[in-house]
Copies of this chain bind each other. A is one copy, B any other.
Amino acid sequence: MRIGELATEAGVSVRALRYYEEQGLLAATRSNSGQRLYAAAAVDRVQLIQNLYAAGLASRTIAELLPCVDAKESTPESRARLAAERDRIDGQIAELIETRDRLDAIIELTERPEHSGCSIH
* A contact set with B: CB distance below 8 Å: 48, 51-52, 54-55, 68-69, 71-74, 78-79, 82-83, 85-86, 89-90, 92-93, 95-100, 102-104, 106-107, 109-111, 113
Give Cα A111 to B99, complex, Å: 34
Please tell me how many copies of the chain the complex holds. 2
- The distance from the CB of A70 to the nearest CB of chain B, in whole angstroms, is 10
A110-B69, A110-B82 known; A92-B103 Cβ under 8 A: no
**Ranked 10 nearest A-B pairs via Cβ:** A74-B110, A51-B99, A86-B103, A89-B100, A55-B99, A93-B96, A82-B107, A69-B106, A72-B109, A73-B110
- The distance from the CB of A109 to the nearest CB of chain B, in whole angstroms, is 5
